[in-house]
Amino acid sequence: MNILGVSCYYHDAAAAILRDGQLIAAAEEERFSRSKHDFGFPKLSIKFCLEQAGITGKELDYVVFYEKPFLKLDRILSSVLQTYPYSYRLFRESMVGWVLDKLWVASTLQAELGIPRNRILFCEHHLSHAASAFFCSPFEESAVLTIDGVGEWLTAASGVGRGTSIQLDRQMQFPHSLGLLYSAFTAFLGFEVNEGEYKVMGMAPYGTPRYVDKVWKLAKLNDDGSFSLDMSYFSFQYSTTRMFNERFIELFGEPRRPNLPFFTEAMGFPPYFGEMPSDFAEQCKANEYHADIAASIQRVTEDILIHITSHLQRQTGQKKLCIAGGVGLNSVANSRILRESGFEEIFIQPAAGDSGAALGAILWGYHSVLGKPRSFQLEHAYWGQQFSQGEICSFLRDENIAHQQMASEDALLDQVVERLRQGKVIGWHQGRFEWGPRALGNRSILADPRNPKMKDIVNAKIKFREPYRPFAPSVAVESASRYFKLDRMVDHHPLRYMLYVVPVKEEHYETLPAITHVDGTARVQTVFKEANPLYYALISRFGEATGVPVVLNTSFNLRGEPIVTTPANAYSTFSRSEMDSLVLGNFLVDKDK
Ligand SMILES: [Fe+2]
């Protein structure tokens, strides 16, 4: 039985395909269309999923869409009526979208795939999120929390999953949304909403949370484990262009201008920004204020999540928790939930945001609608497209690119380790690309984490990167506890997907300066041999050569572009940056040759 899942028309469009309960493929549309956060109908990811399964659209047994369009229309109409006439523009813009695409999604799916209407199912948005985590977790029973910007009506839902059913009996409704609160500050800090949230998280450790009292004027905790926003500070309920209003600005000051370079007095002026501005001290002051705001909203977000999750833990009595929805990508908050909520084990799948709901939709269809037993656990994130050595070789020959073909995996690893030790920055393109927003060793830029200058070197070579862009350590799982402070690192599933931020042991700050964040933490990826044998072998080989089985991993893309998909994307990124070497499968391309 083949089931296709689709999510689109809001944030990140994606498709995923399940055969007899086993995941075959899952990919976000932006990787194929090359349009960052592409939310349109995911024609190309659907095509990829069908090819990977070796079937045509007509051979699908079911297609499941990740939300219920009419419920969402109901929410938009209601919030428009409540806030009319401010909301006229939201109404007009939403209606254009709804009439053209969203309400007719069933017809589009029918036309594109050639399957009958009665084979198309619709799963509620938060249930899709919940299913995306619980049904591929190793848990037979657990609490489930979904939390995001907004789905149809809901902004958060929680309950318990047991076997093949999920009951979400507690819910929070628009406009009271933790995702939208965080996004309002993302916009205030000059970043793009739904894109710059990780930058707020990265900026926070450069500041002090000295404005939490002000942020708490916007939100309050309720005794039932929920929270509410004071809507008099926001405009997202009636505007498509502004998240917050004048009252918010009175409280926090003028918003930070977009694209301003970020530096503070403590970190100094990064050399890769060019010449130091004459008003350096003044800019530092402004940046420090904004870093304090980032630290404050991050702290309040975490406190709200601790409030929600501790309440959920007490109410359900469960020891395990599945988290999904965009807020689940806040790896700093996830680690605090692990430490403080009373839950002992957490599962989050790597595409925790809206794209991942395509996976949830199929799992819901298979288990909850069709009643099929569970037989699948997600152990890794490598569900995208891969390219054969033959395809890579043809590409390099057709484009006349000088390269070396390695005779064996051993030879390849030796060459790469040697370059890493020489301080070179390497584009690493291997196997199937990752599901979700993080590069986890198949579409990664790699470097030596022991070099204290490496952050600046990578930032200078990969142009225009902000200093709070994460440089994460990928560590062979058996060695993780040597460097990082967390018990039983092998058992924590979110570490496979860089979804926890953990303290680096003080005695290793000097061992791993390039991946230790300003507050002494790191967004660790534990690498398992079974999940990614080649990447594991590379890290181990680097460990044999240096005594430190850790590499610096950052995503293989330039600023504002999706992570690379094809060898051609990788080569183009390599050429437009100052990366030293590019590895495509068994082929090595050096820039200086
Ligand atoms: Fe969502």
C-alpha of residue 149 to centroid of ligand 1, in Å: 6
C-alpha of residue 353 to centroid of ligand 1, in Å: 6
Q: For residue 460, name the pLDDT band (cuts at 50, 70, 90).
A: confident
Of 202, 101, 592, 587, give the one whose Cα is nearest residue 390: 587
Rg over CA atoms, the chain: 23
Q: In this structure, how many other beta carbons lie within 10 angstroms of the beta carbon of residue 572?
A: 14
Q: For residue 459, name the pLDDT band (cuts at 50, 70, 90).
A: confident
CB 277 within 8 A of CB 263: no
Distances, alpha carbon 50 to alpha carbons 46, 117, 366, in Å: 6, 19, 18
C-alpha of residue 369 to centroid of ligand 1, in Å: 21
Query: Residues with Cβ within 5 Å of ion ligand 1?
Result: 148, 354
Distance CA 64, CA 121 (A): 5
CB 539 within 8 A of CB 549: yes
C-alpha of residue 418 to centroid of ligand 1, in Å: 43
Distance CA 178, CA 369 (A): 30
- For the question of whether the overall pTM of this predicted structure is more than 0.75, the answer is yes
Which of left, alpha, beta for 555 (phi over 0: left; psi -120 to 50: alpha)?
beta
Q: What is the pLDDT of residues 514-526, one digit of tens each?
A: 999 989 999 999 9
Q: For residue 103, name the pLDDT band (cuts at 50, 70, 90).
A: low
- CA torsion through residues 385, 388, 394, 399, sign: positive
Q: For residue 67, name the pLDDT band (cuts at 50, 70, 90).
A: confident
Q: What is the DSSP letter of 368?
A: I
Is residue 77 predicted with pLDDT exceeding 70?
A: no
Average pLDDT of the segment spanning 392-414: 97
Average pLDDT of the segment spanning 91-104: 57
C-alpha of residue 324 to centroid of ligand 1, in Å: 8
CB 32 within 8 A of CB 24: no
Of 469, 453, 466, 477, give the one whose Cα is nearest residue 526: 477
In this structure, the strands spanning 426-429 and 443-447 are antiparallel
List all residues 6 or more positions away from 246 whose beta carbon is below 8 Å from its beta carbon: none
C-alpha of residue 411 to centroid of ligand 1, in Å: 45
Of 524, 528, 471, give the one whose Cα is nearest residue 500: 524
In this structure, the strands spanning 219-221 and 227-229 are antiparallel
C-alpha of residue 133 to centroid of ligand 1, in Å: 13
Note the Cα 518 to chain centre separation in Å.
Answer: 22
C-alpha of residue 211 to centroid of ligand 1, in Å: 28
Which tokens go with 500?
Answer: 């926890």
